Each structure stands twice: as C-alpha cells, then as structure tokens.
Amino acid sequence: MKWVGPIRISGNVAETETAVPLATFETPLWPSVARGAKLSMAVARGIVTTLVDERMTRSILLEAEDGPTAFDAVRVLRRGFDQLREVAGRTSRFVELIDLHHELVGHLIFLRFEFTTGDASGHNMATLAADALMKHILQTIPGVSYGSISGNYCTDKKASAVNGILGRGKNVIAELVVPQALVSSVLKTTAERVATLNVRKNLLGSVVAGGIRTANAHFANMLLGFYLATGQDAANIVEGSQGITLAEDRDGDLYFSCTLPNLIVGSVGNGKSLDFVEDNLIALGCRDGAQVGDGARRLAVLVAATVLCGELSLLAAQTNPGELMRAHVRIEREPISGH
C-alpha cells in the first residue's frame, strides 16, 4: 500500500486536496495515478466531481399463483409504498426505502428495493430491510409466496445493465480539463490523440467485445487498490468497473471525464474497524462528516477522482507506441498487467 497524490478535488461533495491510499500488487499503478494527480494540482479547480445519485438495492423474488395475481400484487404494493417504507425504516435508523421497481416474468415477481443507507455501503442494512419487507408482504398479500431473499435483480457483484440504468451505489462524475501545454509536457501526447484513442479503444473496442455498459480502459485496477486500502467489499469492483470514459479535444485542451454509476462504498461497517483502515479513513477525512452519509459521499468522490487519474495516465501512455512498455520496464522490470 502506498499513498499517492495529493489530488485536488472540487464539486458538490468536497473541496479538498488529499493523497489517496492504493493497495496493489501492480506497482506501476502508483506512478500512473500520481501523474493524473499532478495534473489535478496544476488546474485551478482540479478534478470536478459531481455526486449524481446514491442508493443501495436488494431484490427479492416472489412467486404468485399466476400472472394476474402477480400484477395485482405489484399494484397493491406500489399503492402501499408508504407502508413499505415504514416497515423498512423499523429495521435501522439509517435505512430509508426510497424507490421500488418490479419485473414480472410469467407468474414470478422480482421486486427491487432501493434504500439510502447512511455512511454504510449498505449490503447488510438492505438485506435486513428486505427480510422485513418479505415477511410483511407474505403476511399481507394473498396468492404470493416466498421465492428467494435475493432474486439477482439487485444485482450484487455481477455484470449486468440494471445497476447503471436503475442506480446502485453512488453515481459520480469526475471531470478534468487539461490545458494543452500540460497535455504536451506531462502526458506527452495531444488532446486529439487521447480523444481518438478513447473512441476506438474504450467505445468501439468495448462494443466489439460484447461489453455491457462499459467503456473504459482499467477502472477496475484503481477501484481494487482503493477498496482494499479502505476496507471496502472489493468484490463490488465487478459492477464498479462498469463505467464510461469520455475524452474530447477542445481546441488543444483535453476534456477528460470518468462516469462511475455504480460505486459501492462505505465509511462504516464490515471491514472498517481494522486499524489500518480506520487510519486511512480518518486521514481521508471520511470519519468526521457533519451529516449522516457525508463520509461515504466523500469516499465516493475520492474514488472517482483516483480512477480518473489512473485512467487518464494510461490512455495517454497508450497513444504512444512503446511508451507503456518502456515505463513499466523501468519501474518493475516487467510490464504492467491489466489493461
């Protein structure tokens, strides 16, 4: 593990300059993120992060006698949303049911509950609330029986489209506009070459690969490093990796953004009480939020900014034949993996 930075960050959650901890076996990741961090410090507002949404989800599976019964059940449940919210709210003072989606397949009902969960990533709160909701539904809705406490429509740690479309975790945009002079001197490339590479590799390349809601080079690497260093459930990089990089040539300046719609992070909960994790979370300023949820939101934008740093640096390197190879031979006698 190593601290990299500082990164300058602004936006609707945090205005800060902070280094970030990255735990990884892929040592070239550190200088890669450091190069992006350096750029952020050279720009007035640094990396601008926007928290767009936050929610944690759990889907349950119910079996109805037939399609009409399933449809009726869903209508009754939607009309009784306030009651469902009350049932969920009784399971924890930090959990609030904010939305509900359903999918019917024949006589089966997939119900997707969506919660806010304070500073926790919320897996456990969501499961506990879903368990209470399941009991409530089985007691109050006739013709409906237990299917499963999890119906895979959540969906947790699996490659799918639903999380991006309906929301799961924090949805964060990180943006940086790099002036032409720095694109040239620090990134050794041009905005036009980065923009073209992004279209061809991250967009077209992902399309031909049969990618699903994914258009980036290596979000997963930065996510893993950050998650391990801050006690997150790192298996959530599966959906976290499904994000989008956008690069534009603006008269020589480089507009570069990373959109991460499925960031599952928490500043409290499982794994957060280990000493090094606590130290890291405190150093990141994620333990002293004025309001419930501030710690997790701050974590989310720090992760997103870190992802941008590493993504930008790698893409810039890949515009130059041989640079990636040379850089990594220099650093660890063997080339970087993973992108």
Tell me the closest approach of the beta carbon of residue 19 to a second copy, in angstroms: 21
Segment contacting a second copy (CB under 8 A): 34-42, 78-86, 156-164, 289-297? 156-164
Tell me the closest approach of the beta carbon of residue 317 to a second copy, in angstroms: 9
Q: Which residues ranging from 17 to 56 are in contact with a second copy (CB under 8 A)?
A: 25-26, 48-50, 52
Q: Rule CB under 8 A: is residue 142 a binding residue for a second copy?
A: no
Q: Rule CB under 8 A: is residue 116 a binding residue for a second copy?
A: no
Residue 3's DSSP bridge partners are: 21
Q: Candidates 8, 55, 136, 218: give the one binding a second copy (CB under 8 A).
A: 218
Q: Residue 205 has what DSSP assignment?
A: I
Beta strands at 2-11 and 108-116: parallel, antiparallel or unpaired: unpaired
Question: Residue 219's CB: how many other CB atoms inside 10 A?
Answer: 27
Q: Rule CB under 8 A: is residue 149 a binding residue for a second copy?
A: yes
Q: Rule CB under 8 A: is residue 123 a binding residue for a second copy?
A: yes
Q: Which residues ranging from 270 to 299 are in contact with a second copy (CB under 8 A)?
A: 270-271
Would you call 198 helix, strand, or coil by DSSP?
Answer: helix
CA distance 3 to 200: 32
Q: Rule CB under 8 A: is residue 61 a binding residue for a second copy?
A: yes
Q: Rule CB under 8 A: is residue 137 a binding residue for a second copy?
A: no
Measured CA distances, 178 to 17, 35, 202 (Å)? 17, 12, 20
With contacts defined by CB under 8 A, how many residues of the chain interact with a second copy? 110
Tell me the closest approach of the beta carbon of residue 328 to a second copy, in angstroms: 8
Task: Give just the sign of the alpha carbon dihedral 159, 161, 167, 171.
Answer: positive
Measured CA distances, 99 to 85, 223, 244, 296, 297 (Å)? 9, 27, 25, 20, 20
Q: Which residues ranging from 180 to 209 are in contact with a second copy (CB under 8 A)?
A: 197, 199-209
Binding-residue pattern over the window 231 to 270 for a second copy, x denoting contact by CB under 8 A: x-xxxxxx--xx-x-x--------x-x-x-x--------x
Residues 169/265, Cβ–Cβ less than 8 Å: yes
Residues 183/256, Cβ–Cβ less than 8 Å: no
Q: Candidates 178, 191, 220, 305: give the one binding a second copy (CB under 8 A).
A: 220
Cα angle 14, 47, 292 (rounded to 5 degrees) comes to 20
Tell me the closest approach of the beta carbon of residue 23 to a second copy, in angstroms: 10
Q: Which residues ranging from 69 to 88 are in contact with a second copy (CB under 8 A)?
A: 70-71
| Active-site residue set | 26, 233, 328
Establish whether the linkage from the previous residue to 6 is cis, with ω within 30° of 0.
Answer: yes
DSSP letter for each residue of 140-197: HSTTEEEEES--SSS--SS--SHHHHH--EEEEEEEEEE-HHHHHHTTSS-HHHHHHH
Beta strands at 244-250 and 144-148: parallel, antiparallel or unpaired: unpaired
Tell me the closest approach of the beta carbon of residue 39 to a second copy, in angstroms: 17
Tell me the closest approach of the beta carbon of residue 177 to a second copy, in angstroms: 8
Tell me the closest approach of the beta carbon of residue 94 to a second copy, in angstroms: 12
Q: Rule CB under 8 A: is residue 159 a binding residue for a second copy?
A: yes
Q: Candidates 1, 181, 212, 282: give the one binding a second copy (CB under 8 A).
A: 212
Q: Residue 15 has what DSSP assignment?
A: -
18 or 259: CB nearest a second copy: 259
Q: Which residues ranging from 85 to 114 are in contact with a second copy (CB under 8 A)?
A: 103-108, 110
